[in-house]
Structure 1
Amino acid sequence: MQSIGQGMSLRWLLAASFINSFAFGFIWPLTSVYLYNELYQTLVTIGWVMMANAVGQAIGSIVSGRLFDQFKPYRLIQFGVLAMIVLQVAFIIWHGWPTYAVILTLVGFFGGWLTAAINAYGTQVRSHDGRFVFNMLYFMSNFGMVFSTALVGPIYPFGITWLFLLALILYVVLFFIVHTKFRINLANYSREQQTTKIALPKWNLLLIYAGISGLVILWISYAQWQGNVSVYMNSVLKLPLWQYSMLWTINGILIAIIQLGMNALNLSANRRSMFIQIFAGIIMFGLSFLVLPFSHHFMGFALAMIITTIGEATAFPMIPALVNELTPLTLKGRYQGLTAAAPSVGRAVGPLVGGFIIQQQGYNALFYAASALTFVAFIGVLTSIVLGYRRTVRYEEN
């Protein structure tokens, strides 16, 4: 067991983040295509299924984050990995309709559970600055996605069962890592929380919830890439599935390059750089959707994905880092859980809203709406940080 003074090992935390993302990447990228082409479900039905999965992720993240501050994190994350192992076995046995949708919802719950637990463990790393830690967590998560999405396209024609089997093997590996490397004793923190109730300053709360709300809005737009764009490319434009899979490989590789570059230049540890990344990243993210209406071939989608990734890689990891800076030690799990839930809420709403817009106005209207929504998020986050950051209390310790 690691001591409290040592904190969490960054190396093993990043390994866990990589494996968790690698395994989960065999499940979600082809969900929309599988439901549409193999299980013959409509876009609206697919939207409801994706919503159920994402709501499960949001609830799992919130529950896990709150429990992190009150119970042994080791037991918490261990239970989440065991649940994912059981669910992969269930997927291998039952992946027809509607069983697939039910299991996918449970996978969402425990996927959110694990994401929040890993992020909360990130606040317990003592050896590096919090902004560096969350940059690296985001990098490793997407690095894992590079491998899985690159493999999904070639493996899927042999049957979706093989993807679930690979995910099962990875979660078994993750269980052994958690079992041997995640036993951090946080009992003293739990006792402190039970005896002292800490109320966050109002400006801290304002910025935290502005950041979380901004993430929700950004992920409503981002969810279109993960669901409706795959159907648009494969079923409307008749582009091969490997091209959609390749977009996510580009996404992961570019995130790796950007994150490693920022860390090499020590930008992740600079507070002013953090705000530049948030503001510029959101703007880039919004601009990317304006490319999609004019994209009818792979190169157009690749360009849009490159712009999307630049915005995502710079802005997205800085929001949990900002939340970490604005929360005391005994509340970090709770607010990291809420931060981890934000993308899930966006993924819950995004496919359903997107499917409705497509049926009423078409795909081009969807892309313009996603861009407009992103700029709404930018105004909200910019205003709250400019007006409130100087009035906040910063908790520098991780």
Structure 2
Amino acid sequence: MNQSIIRLADSFVVRGKDMQQKTGMTLKWLLLASLINNFAFGFIWPVTTVYLNGPLHQSLVVVGWVMLLVASGQAFGSIISGRLFDRFAPYKLILIGTLGMICIQFLLVFFHGWPFYAVNLIVAALLNGWIMAVINAYGTLVKNHDGRFVFNMLYFTNNFGMVFATALLGLIYPFGIVWLFILSLGLYFVLLGIVRHAFKIDITVDDAHQQSAMPKLPRWNLKLVYGVIIGLIVLWIAYAQWQGNLSVYMTTDLHLPLWQYSLLWTINGLLIAIIQVGLNAFHLVTSPKAMWIQIFGGIFMFGLAFLILPFAHDFTGFAIAMVITTFGEVTAFPMIPALVNELTPAALKGRYQGLVAAAPSVGRAIGPLVGGLVIERDGYSALFNGGALLVFITFAVLALLMLKGYRHTQQFTEGD
């Protein structure tokens, strides 16, 4: 990491010494930080394909490689910061990530031609993954709320920030891409203020951080943690088809207008908000039994939606599939980091929450490539049926792992 950024982060730490250190993370500030981070990044990456292929005149092949590097950078940032969280001062980590993002947004304002835009975007993705993993790890330090509730709300704020930013893109982009970078820069300054105000807390696992040998997970805990993380990657490989190849299928093969594809994501965003409110209203996110129903019921619905897609030839069919997909993702996805939290001790939570945060990026990096190869070889029906098969295999493997091994796992409570 650039030494100047580290020195700047240290100066913030020194200036903040007189701040009162709090024990435990305050949920409202954590959720606000998550919202702003995704809101700010949502002004940057969704226009990548349009901007590279349009004003910068790059081929779709080049665009594909850039998107692959963006997703890989995001995954790499999450993995690295997650591992450092258990060994390094978390407050410094999120400061470094936020200050780095401010520097990158400043550069993007002035350097957004080819290839500077692509390089800056890849670094921005790495820092975004870095910040997301640290925020996830801070979620394990919230003391006055159930972990399932915390990660459910983090999933909601992540999606709401991104959907809200994407909705504003169409209004702002015609005035010039520079305005998107300026808005993003302003939001990261707001995030910096929140970090300085609320993220300097007393971490009670300092002794574990100072140990030369980190603790090891029990055997079945390790198997289940890696099982659900790999399962999450597979689900995101399937989900990536919705975000990329499906738009080509709807507009090119079926000749449906682009606004209908965009409307699917409006439905997705609204449903996420409605379902999250319902889950919280009935306290389902804090029930251990409901967690299993959410995980496996969600995965099943995710696969069911892919079985509908081969028969969808108009907007209604795709809308039905999107509704089912949204129910699946909003129930299953937030419970995976919550489960990993319960299966990992305090000294290892950062490492494994970093892997959880990286999983969607890995899936988004692999998904378009895998989908493109299947489409070229066998067509869209094979893609949709193959997606369903992949999801149901994931369902079966995770179910077998849980039935065989969950009773042998060790559960970790706060401070363990």
1:192 paired to 2:177: no
Partner SS state of residue 202, structure 2: coil
Q: CA deviation at 1:134?
A: 0.4
Q: Report the CA distance shift for 1:241/1:164 in structure 2 as closer, same or farther (over 3 A).
A: farther
Q: Following superposition of structure 1 onto structure 2, how do residues 335-374 of structure 1 map, counting pairs within 5 Å? A: 335-374=352-391
Q: Among 69, 77, 81, which residue is 1:52 paired with?
A: 69
Matches within 5 A, 1:263-274: 263-274=280-291
Indicate yes or no: 2:326 matched with 1:309.
Answer: yes
Structure 1 residues 332 and 272: alpha-carbon distance in aligned structure 2, compared to 1, 3 A threshold: same
Distance of 2:55 and 2:322 partners within structure 1: 27
Amino acid at match of 1:172: F
Task: Give the alignment of 1:109-120 within 5 angstroms.
Answer: 109-120=126-137
Question: In 1, Cα distance between the equivalents of 2:264 and 2:184?
Answer: 21
Determine if contact 1:58/1:340 at 8 Å carries over to the other structure: yes
Q: Compute the TM-score of the two structures, normalised by the length of structure 1.
A: 0.93
In 2: Cα distance, 1:91 partner to 1:242 partner: 29
- Quote how far apart the aligned CAs of 1:253 are: 1.7
AA matched with 1:323: V
Listed as ranges, the matches of 1:185-224 within 5 Å are: 185-186=202-203, 188-195=204-211, 197-224=214-241
Structural RMSD (CA): 2.1
* More displaced stretch, 314-323 vs 79-88: 79-88
Q: Does residue 111 of structure 2 align to residue 94 of structure 1?
A: yes
Return the alpha-carbon distance in structure 1 between the equivalents of residues 61 and 402 of structure 2. Answer: 37
1:133–1:395 distance in 2 versus 1, CA, 3 Å:
same
Whole-angstrom distance in 2 between the partners of 1:363 and 1:169: 42
> Which structure 1 residue ranges, 5 or more long, are not aligned?
none
Of 42, 54, 61, the match for 1:25: 42
Q: Which runs of 5+ in 2 are unaligned?
A: 1-18
Matched, 1:108 2:125: yes
Distance 2:284 2:210 in 1: 37
Identify the residue that residue 76 of structure 1 maps to in structure 2: 93
- Answering whether residue 221 of structure 2 is matched by residue 175 of structure 1, we say no
**Conserved? CA contact 1:286–1:374, under 8 Å:** yes
Matches of 2:315 and 2:52, distance apart in 1: 23
Which secondary structure does the structure 1 equivalent of 2:205 belong to? helix
Aligned residue type for 1:163: L
Q: What is the aligned residue count?
A: 396
- Considering only CA atoms, is the larger Rg found in Structure 1 or Structure 2? 2
Q: Is 1:10 matched with 2:8? A: no
Contact 1:323 1:335 in 2 (8 A): yes
Instruction: Compute the displacement of 1:205 (Å).
Output: 0.2
**Paired residue for 2:245?**
228
- Cα distance change on mapping 1:40 and 1:350 into 2, 3 Å: farther
Spell out, residue by residue over 1:219-274, the C-alpha distance to the aligned partner (whole angstroms, 9 max, x if none).
11111222233344455555554444333232222111111211111111111110
Distance 2:215 2:21 in 1: 25
**Taking every aligned residue pair, what percent have the same amino acid on both sides?**
61
Distance 1:364 1:207 in 2: 33
What is the distance in 2 between the residues matched to 1:370 and 1:47? 21
Query: Is contact 1:20-1:174 (8 Å) kept?
Result: yes
Cα deviation, residue 174, structure 1? 1.0
Give the superposition deviation at 1:105.
1.4
Q: Is the 8 A contact 2:214 2:347 kept in 1?
A: no
| Amino acid in structure 2 at the alignment position of 1:108 | A
CA shift digits 1:4-41 (9 cap, x unpaired): 5x300000000011111111222233333444455454
Q: Name the CA shift for 1:294/1:94 in 2 (closer, same or farther; >3 Å).
A: farther
Moved over 6 A (4+): none
Report if the CA contact (8 A) 2:36-2:191 is conserved: yes
CA contact (8 A) 1:50 1:351 kept: no
8 Å CA contact retained: 2:238, 2:387 = yes
TM-score after normalising by structure 2: 0.89
Deviations 1:75-118 (A, max 9, x none): 11111112112222333333333333222211221111011000
Equivalent pair of 2:88/2:209 in contact (CA under 8 Å):
no
Going from structure 1 to structure 2, the CA distance change for 1:295 and 1:257 (only over 3 Å counts) comes to same
The farther-off stretch of 316-325 and 77-86 is 77-86
**Which residue of structure 2 lines up, in the alignment, with residue 149 of structure 1?**
166
Using CA pairs under 8 Å that are at least 6 residues apart, name the structure with larger relative contact order, 1 or 2.
Answer: 1
Query: After alignment, is 347-356 or 271-280 more displaced?
Result: 347-356
Are residues 239 and 36 of structure 1, via their aligned partners in 2, closer, same or farther at CA, if it must alter by over 3 Å? farther
Partner Cα distance (2:68, 2:20) in 1: 39
Output the CA distance in 1 between the equivalents of 2:66 and 2:387.
Answer: 21
> Quick one: distance in 2 between partners of 1:371 and 1:388?
26
